[in-house]
Amino acid sequence: MSSTFDQINSTFDRLSADWKANDGAAVAGFFGEDGSLVNPFGERADGHTAIAAMYTDYFEGMLSGTSTTIDLAQVRDVEADHAFVDAEQAIRAPDGSVVLTLHLAALMRRVGDDWQFVDSRPFAYAAGPT
């Protein structure tokens, strides 16, 4: 059996493939029915249906044609079927230029041989004091 890190990394690879198709329902499929997302703009979506609607709206607008990569940095097991993850996410325009760089903090739950988001919080770091 592969490690939790490897399993979650594989989940992120599949999520990136669905993101490239700009398929909001498919991306929302990586969230549990009780999942929640607070996007980098502070908008909250609770539940699979609301998350799918949020992604669909963004893929029809500012995220149209984008792709993403998620580089998993750290996984901390929380009980047998949950893990807290830290990752770096890059969202790229159709020409490959980086549109947005985010840090992703998320609680994930093992469902069978797969992992789903329970709570996802992608955000950009604020500039430090000068």
In total, how many domains does the chain have? 1
The residue behind tokens 């490239």 is 20
- Asked, for residue 60, whether it belongs to a domain, the answer is yes
CA dihedral 113, 28, 68, 42 (to 10 degrees): -130
Does residue 129 form part of some domain?
Answer: no
SS3 117: strand
Q: What is the Cα 122 distance to its own chain's centre?
A: 7
Report how far apart, in Å, the C-alpha atoms of 79 and of each of 1, 8, 83, 111, 116 are.
18, 15, 8, 14, 15
Burial class for 95, CB neighbours closer than 10 Å (0-12, 13-18, 19+): exposed
Query: Is 130 contained in some domain?
Result: no
Model pLDDT, residue 7: 94
Q: What is the pLDDT of residue 118?
A: 98
Cα(62)–Cα(22) distance, integer angstroms? 11
128 occurs within a structural domain: no
| Segment-wise mean pLDDT, segments of 10 residues, the chain, 130 residues | 86 97 97 96 96 97 96 94 97 96 97 94 89
- pTM as predicted: 0.92
pLDDT at 126: 85
pLDDT of residue 1: 43
pLDDT number for residue 43: 97
Rg (C-alpha) for the chain, rounded Å, is 14
CATH number at residue 103: 3.10.450.50
